[in-house]
Structure 1
Amino acid sequence: MKSKFFTDPNLTFNETKSTLVEEDIVESIPFDFEGKKDFILFYTQYNGVVFPFGAFFYRDSFYEVRRDEYNLLDVGAFFEISNSENSILKMWESFKADLRAKDISSKYLPFGNDSSGNLFCIESKTGVVVYIQHENPKNITNVAPSFLDFCNKIQEEMR
């Protein structure tokens, strides 16, 4: 079955089938952003995904990337919307507590991570997907113009 979100036909992921309705998802999102409809649609289909064999994303799909910048990023999972410890709400609360800088944490919604626990987040006004390292949370790297763009460019193999 072809997915609107994951376009690489070789991409392997374990999904949690969603039983969520739009209202459940909207309650879990602390702000509006460009591309919110795609985010909601994703979570009505999948309530989180895990990439058991790894998945990869290249920033140069959308941005010019210098030699001293990240290009290849691994993608480990998208969080669930639930009361579990790996839920979007729990991660957002933890993110805010860890940063202790409301000017940063209130602008980003973490929805996924890499294999090292660094976060993929949505920026509150633009809907741009960013990458935030837990060791240096003020170093924010643009990854994709939207959630849908990010999903569409995740691939199974490194190039």
Structure 2
Amino acid sequence: MRRATAAHVAALTGNTGGIAWPRHSLEVDTMSTQADHGHELIPRPQQTPDALRAALAAVDPARLEEMQGTKDEAFAKAVEWQSLSPVQSWVLTWARDIEIARRPDLSTRYTRAKGNLEHDDPTIAQEALRELSAVLDEAMKAVRG
């Protein structure tokens, strides 16, 4: 059985960065729903670049530079390809990552799974990969509605 590696994570998440524990919980004006009685750090943001940026600033500001870089790449590809697909993909990727960061339940599962990806026991590493995939799927379903 093959061990999960950082390359597996990058393939699943579309990036090499991780989702860090949220540092603080700020209310953001560009949110579309209310927080779930303490189970969400902030409401789910609208799927616009400005709303996503504001939400990321609230839950994981260390990733703002990464977000801007991937946004620039997505817009450059959109122009080159004459397609909005790269921008739509960028929005969904960041909406998913923010969904995980704003929900302590998903964030805990994500962190635990990512921490076990390179476990010496291949069964644990494989289960971590499955769990990471499940977290990413759950977050994506949530942001797609």
TM-score (norm 2): 0.30
Work out which of the two has the higher radius of gyration on C-alpha atoms and give 1 or 2.
2
TM-score (norm 1): 0.28
Higher-helix-fraction structure: 2
